[in-house]
Amino acid sequence: MRKSTTVVRSHLAPAVNGEALTASPVLSGPFHASGDPAASAYTYGRFHNPTWTTLENALAALESSPTIAAKALVFPSGMAAVTAVFEALLRPGGTVVLPANGYYTVRMLLERFFSPIGVGVRFLPKQADLQGEALRGATLLWLETPTNPELDIYDIRVLSQLAHAAGALVAVDNTTATPLAQNVLSLGADYSVVSGTKALTGQSDLILGHVAVAQEELLKPIHEWRTLSGSILGPMEAWLALRSLPSLPLRLERASANALAIAGFLAGRSDILRVLYPGLPSHPGHEIAAQQMDYFGPVVSFVLEDRARAERFLARAELVTEATSFGGIVTTAERRARWPKESAHPGLIRMSAGCEAIEDILNDLENALA
């Protein structure tokens, strides 16, 4: 079956006469479970919950491929999913290698809480011939592709092979593309880590995340971390995510087409310093992106000459809503460097194409840039 078909049907409950068609939220702290706890599927809501199970099965199907039967665990945010992987793998003396311009909160988390206990943090050079050296002795390669917000592309297959040869495990932050656009486990990654807050659920009303793996034993310490730390998703949020997931194929197709049209429009203007979109043939990572992605995704970044010009653009835009985050059905944009720890160019606008009619978005861009 096509992946999109599986996703569209992911909130259906098992076919039992007289029962609801779709999954419903199960709100329970304790469950009826007398005697030996091992005899009950559910006992206590920090350990497991049937609504999580439905969502995790849907996410596992999304992360699977003909050769991989993935397993997934949900978390209360993308960062909680990131933290669970770090806590499971990184010990004093260990080393994580990551791009210097990925999602800045991941760098801050490492800087504030892992470096001080003796975890080494190294940046992955962009030049291919320096990457092997950077991976020597590493515990974990933390990739992000496309990166947020500059949309750099890393070759997941090649870097996974390099990292494995160096004895490191590989995690890919797959938030920007979503697992429907980019199946990182089949490209060789050990962990797919996703913030479901963005395009995966797409309604801009949820914060959640997940970790998926191909080898089930890799999930054990992550599962244990979740249970012991209590880093758990509420069942209502799990249910809202189940309502949102089935529209992912429709949303992603439309938003990616809109993003490509926006990127093409911007690339044709002389007042834009740079347009960053992996779907443009002129993007330095386009060839690799075309190999490893089925959609180029909703995010387009572009650089205006300075902060003032970028702020003027945002103030003049009427349809394009100024807001952080991305991947919603509504088109949004923000000047990334307004966040103090973000390293992007002061004039960089990160835009997230939504599902509106493209003519209206392009008209709005034309007016806001005039």
> What is the Cα–Cα distance from 357 to 177, expressed in whole angstroms?
21
**Is residue 280 a contact partner of residue 286, using CB atoms and an 8 Å limit?**
yes
Contact segment (CB under 6 A) with ligand PLP among 58-66, 72-80, 219-227, 337-345 equals 72-80
Work out which of 49, 77, 201, 301 binds ligand PLP, going by CB under 6 A: 77
Query: Which value, to the nearest 10 degrees, does the dihedral of the CA atoms of residues 334, 340, 345, 348 take?
Result: 0
Q: Is 79 in the site for ligand PLP (CB under 6 A)?
A: yes
Tell me the residue number closest to ligand PLP, measured at CB.
Answer: 78
Work out which of 25, 78, 179, 235 binds ligand PLP, going by CB under 6 A: 78
> What is the Cα–Cα distance from 339 to 3, expressed in whole angstroms?
36
> In a 3-state reduction of DSSP, which class is residue 266?
helix
Strand partners, 276: 301
Work out which of 175, 182, 183, 256 binds ligand PLP, going by CB under 6 A: 175
Q: Nearest distance from residue 308's CB to ligand PLP, in Å?
A: 26
For ligand PLP, how many residues bind (rule: CB under 6 A)? 14
> What is the Cα–Cα distance from 83 to 101, expressed in whole angstroms?
18
Closest CA to 143 of 158, 124, 161, 130: 124
Work out which of 56, 63, 87, 144 binds ligand PLP, going by CB under 6 A: 144
**Is residue 23 a contact partner of residue 242, using CB atoms and an 8 Å limit?**
yes
Beta strand residue intervals within 30-159, DSSP E? 71-75, 95-99, 120-124, 140-144
Q: Is 54 in the site for ligand PLP (CB under 6 A)?
A: no
Q: Nearest distance from residue 50's CB to ligand PLP, in Å?
A: 23
> What is the Cα–Cα distance from 27 to 41, expressed in whole angstroms?
15
Q: Is 83 in the site for ligand PLP (CB under 6 A)?
A: no
Contact segment (CB under 6 A) with ligand PLP among 93-101, 132-140, 171-179, 223-231 equals 171-179
Q: Which is nearer to ligand PLP, 194 or 266 (CB)?
A: 194
Q: Which is nearer to ligand PLP, 198 or 251 (CB)?
A: 198
Q: How many CB atoms lie within 10 A of CB 271?
A: 10
Contact segment (CB under 6 A) with ligand PLP among 73-81, 89-97, 115-123, 126-134 equals 73-81
Query: Crossing angle for the helix pair 220-229 and 78-89, nearest 10 degrees?
Result: 120
Residue ranges in 180-219 that form contacts with ligand PLP under rule CB under 6 A: 195, 197-198, 207, 209
Q: Which is nearer to ligand PLP, 322 or 364 (CB)?
A: 322
User: What residue type is 88 in one-letter code?
Assistant: A
> What is the Cα–Cα distance from 10 to 62, expressed in whole angstroms?
9
Contact segment (CB under 6 A) with ligand PLP among 13-21, 74-82, 214-222, 223-231 equals 74-82
Contact segment (CB under 6 A) with ligand PLP among 9-17, 71-79, 223-231, 358-366 equals 71-79
Query: Which pair of tokens denotes residue 139?
Result: 């515990």
List residues near ligand PLP by CB under 6 A: 77-79, 103, 144, 148, 173, 175-176, 195, 197-198, 207, 209
